[in-house]
Amino acid sequence: MLRISQRTVERYVKDQIKKPRPDLAARLEREVKARWQPQIRAKAKQRAATTGGIVIDTRARLGYTAPIGSTDQDRLRHLTVALPPQYAARLFDAQEAGASDQQLQQIAAEALKEVYFQDNGRRAGQLEEVRFTDIEHLEFDL
């Protein structure tokens, strides 16, 4: 697949040949990415879904539904929030199952409700539903 001999590959591995010619360097890079990138991504997703979680960075209109007498005004907010692993797992599972953008937004809204608005159960215990609309920017990072 690289269109070079096995012996030439062995020389590269042993550092007997240091720098491949440009066309070979491009083929090497393409083949390495084709083989290793899926494995690296899978490991990173597994780590995020089990121990590390993910970070969501968004600029969107966020508000919530709460009992009468409390504020539920939604407004444009820019948030960068670390989400726990269980939400990373839910997002990855939903994405792999072919979930729509609306379904993925709902999972993200539930995560923001728990982590940002309720501070993992320490406040806003009566909060019912977070509205996550008018998304200008949405990015996830591992």
Specify the amino acid at residue 74.
D
What's the pLDDT band for 13 if we cut at 50, 70, 90?
Answer: confident
End-to-end CA distance of the chain: 33
Q: How far, in Å, CA of 46 to CA of 64, rounded?
A: 31
- pLDDT above 70 (res 132): yes
Bigger pLDDT: 126 or 96? 96
> What pLDDT is recorded for position 65?
65
Find where tokens 């989400």 sit.
Answer: 83
Top-confidence residue, 92 or 32: 92
Over residues 117-137, the mean pLDDT reads 77
Residue 129 clears pLDDT 80, i.e. is over it: no
- Predicted TM-score (pTM) of this structure: 0.64
Q: Which pLDDT score, from 0 to 100, does residue 20 have?
A: 85
The average confidence (pLDDT) of the chain is 84
Element containing residue 138 per DSSP (H, E): strand 129-141
pLDDT tens per residue across span 35-80 = 777 788 888 888 888 888 899 999 998 877 666 666 556 788 899 9
Distance CA 35, CA 76 (A): 42
- The two tokens of residue 64 are 């919530």
Length of the chain measured in residues: 142
- Specify the higher pLDDT residue, 118 or 78: 78
| DSSP assignment of 46-114 | HHIIIII-EEEEEEEEEEEE--TTS----EEEEEEEEEPHHHHHHHHHHHHTT--HHHHHHHHHHHHII
